[in-house]
Copies of this chain bind each other. A is one copy, B any other.
Amino acid sequence: MSLKLGVIGTGAIGQDHIRRCSQTLLGSQVVAVTDINLEQAAKVVAELKIAAEVYPDGHALIKAPEVEAVLVTSWGPSHEEFVLAAIAAGKPVFCEKPLAVTAAGCRKIVEAEVAHGKRLVQVGFMRPYDAGYRALKAVIDSGQIGEPLMLHCAHRNPRVGENYKTDMAITDTLIHELDVLRWLLADDYVSVQVVFPRKSSKALAHLKDPQVVLLETARGTRIDVEVFVNCQYGYDIQCEVVGETGIARLPEPSQVQLRSEAKLSNAILMDWKDRFIAAYDVELQAFIDGVRAGQVGGPSAWDGYAAAVAADACIEAQNSGQIVKVAQPPRPAFYG
């Protein structure tokens, strides 16, 4: 039997996930939707031709007996409330990042889930489902390069709009590295520092761009992440792991090699949506399969909390220019 899903939030990402469940993934059907704008929700149901009821709000949807699991794809500040409600109802919930807009909010979710006694929450960090990162982790875990000592990373976008502020380099951009590197290393951050290089003339006046974030982990691994959101040339994600005996590097996206116009070249993606498109499918399929198997996995509420704590420290480091300790409490045994 298909898993019956309710989707809270029918904006761009909500529609993408509905489409995925209906047209690409196995084993689920969207039976309920809602949105702050109910007309829009109804329109999406009609356009995507799905047999889903429109509920008046998220809480009604969560309570509906026919809804077996919930996707939270609404406005960020509403995530906490709906995830807590899903936990209260004992229903598995996939929540787009951020899990909550504050570390305290994430912490509340962690506590509610621990109190419930069984994992219900998967956070929408998709990079651990990317084939490249998985291959990189497999190399690290194989011991081929020895213990990881340093990581050199970059997160580059061609350009950003006026709404993008300096702190969003952390909360919107670096947040993906904060999650995926913890997973890659199976380690936690203990301190952070942010350095501001000479500003690019391509960045808008109010934005400090690029930035370099330096992270230290509990095992002493040192990570540098270049965040550069007006790099012009492409959407480019780099991750190089320097181990005791060798170095492993995240694969470049596979491209046709061209010899033309005095260049030997491979295309670089310009649109971030193309970079991890397959990972979104794998991530959501994993949630569906996990729920059906009675075992939710993937990025946990604790992972969402840990990323939020690290992000808070990074923002403090942006402001102070100092090395800032990451005040993350020990991981509850519940999260293994």
- Which residues of A approach B to under 8 Å, CB–CB? 23-26, 131-132, 135-136, 139, 144-147, 149-150, 152, 195-202, 210, 212, 214, 216, 219-222, 224, 226, 228, 231-234, 236, 242, 244-270
Q: Once the chains bind, are B233 and A247 in contact (CB under 8 Å)?
A: yes
Asked whether, in the complex, the Cβ of A221 is within 8 Å of the Cβ of B198, the reply is yes
Q: Which residue of B lies closest to A221 (CB)?
A: B198
Contact between A254 and B131, CB atoms less than 8 A apart: yes
Check if A197 sits within 8 Å of B249, measured CB to CB: no
Contact B214 A195 (CB under 8 A): yes
Closest to A24 in B: B26
A147 neighbours in B (Cβ, 8 Å): 198, 200-201
Partner among B221, B226, B242, B262 whose Cβ is within 8 Å of the Cβ of A150: B226
Counted per complex, copies of this chain come to: 4
Q: A195-B214, A254-B131 are known contacts. Are A259 and B244 too (CB-CB below 8 A)?
A: no
Given A26-B26, A210-B149, A212-B222, A256-B202 contact (CB < 8 Å): no
Whether the pair B259, A236 counts as a contact (CB closer than 8 A) is yes
In the assembled complex, the CB of A129 is this many whole angstroms from the nearest CB of chain B, namely: 15
CB nearest neighbor in B for A245 = B232
Shortest C-beta distance, A256 to chain B (Å), equals 5
Asked if A220 and B246 make an inter-chain contact with CB atoms under 8 angstroms apart, the answer reads: no
